[in-house]
Amino acid sequence: MDHSLKRLPVSALDDAFHAMVAASRSAPPPALAARLDSLKRLRSMLADNETRLEQAISADFGHRCAVETTIAETLFVQGEIKHTMKMLPRWMAARRIATSLQFWPARNRLMPQPLGVVGIIAPWNYPLQLTLAPAIGALAAGNRVLIKPSELTPRFSALLKELIAAAFDATEFSVTGIDDGIAQAFAALPFDHLVFTGSTRVGRIVAEAAGRNLTPVTLELGGKSPTIVDASADIDEAAQRIAYAKLLNAGQTCIAPDYVFVPEPRGDEFAGKLHRNMLQMFGTNPANSDYTSIISDQHYARLEGLLRDAVARGAKPLSLTSPEDPAWKKLRKFPPTVVVGATPDMAIMQEEIFGPLLPIIGYREPDEPIRYINAHDRPLALYWFGSNEATRDAVLARTVSGGVTINDCLLHFAQMNQPMGGVGASGIGHYHGEWGFNSFSKLKPVFYRSPFNRMKDLYPPYGASIARIEKLLRFLS
């Protein structure tokens, strides 16, 4: 999920941004009806152009499974819009907050307000979902939104720019930076909030650029998401579910299982079952339309390098064929590969894989996976399989991650009532549903003083009564 951050003067970007800022500062916050109208237009845009968007994404990948685009992108975004429209009246309402006894009968309220202009630097791996999901929350919160798509999805990016320009005013919601490498200039603009989805390395650059303007950021950064197969797990069930989660989008998923801990006596058995499930799901023909291509030759070559390094250091690959097989390489279809006997010194265990390679690590004691996970950067996702509640609860209590799915993978991300976000090197901030609305709002505390409150008794000059008032305040505090 990398982006090229090039320094280029881009006057069009500056003009688009400042026009949005001027509009956001001069117009009143959009009412509920206006926000719902924005979301309806976005929903209609998606519904009317679903096939065009799917074809553009597939063309950018070389081949993208249409079913994966529908399930993981189109339906996800449509579901988020539906949920947001249903809940928006409640989210927008001023919230009653308890008032401390000493201030009665005054009132507290928490008032959500738009921040202003939200910038989104989007990735290539799920270009529709990871562009529009944060945009939905930003629009619902009453903001104006400027998007910088990925250079690796030029057809999709150009189409999205065309469709949004037809459905929205340029000062309301627009797309910029298709071919001109403006990511660094984009991140340096003084947005009211900036969202970036991509690699940890580039996330640090984006955060540094935003920090110069004190721009708050939401960073979705991925990393190495571990999976623990407990001794109590159903091995067949775990192998099937992990195989599906790993190979969705050919492993190019920020919350894909990145490596798997398996009890040592069953490591080879699990690896074999995992590989058989991979073959059952995607067959042996690289032209299988269910299997997605790797996004570019450069990314394919990087995966080849990870596998070569692992094999050179003693790992055993389980794969249908070599990634150098011309039939697979021509289509940029990387053969699904289980890497048995992975060790920490291998490159495959030191960087996010982002492809259909899955290392297997054996362990003997239940604490071993916990110690390994805690010795490394905190992951965006963690997966645990088993039926032993004590072991499960120990993993949940003793590890910190962006999110967790128990006895499956990926599914915590699809929960609209749960936040999505990383921690530490895997990200900052949250979005989805009300969490996104809150992230893109200023939740402004407002205190309404009552005319009957006796605060003036605290004004100087302080007389003999101040001691009694202090005593009362200590009692109430």
Structure-block tokens of residue 324: 């150098």
Active site residue: 54, 65, 151, 254, which one? 254
Q: Which one, of 392, 452, 344, lies nearest residue 230 by Cα?
A: 392
Q: Which one, of 133, 151, 124, lies nearest residue 42 by Cα?
A: 133
Structure-block tokens of residue 63: 């081949």
Determine if the peptide bond prior to 344 is cis (ω within 30°). Answer: no
How far is it, in rounded angstroms, from Cα 65 to Cα 57?
10
SS3 call for 309: helix
SS3 call for 110: strand
CA atoms within 13 A on the CB side of 15: 7
Active site residue: 220, 352, 409, 434, which one? 220
Contacts of 114 (CB under 8 A, 6+ apart): 24, 29, 30, 141, 142, 143, 440, 441, 442
Q: Which one, of 319, 283, 287, 322, lies nearest residue 304 by Cα?
A: 322
- How many other C-beta atoms lie within 10 A of the C-beta of residue 44? 11
Q: For residue 120, how far is the Cα from the chain centroid?
A: 12
Establish whether 220 is a catalytic residue: yes
Catalytic residue set: 220, 254
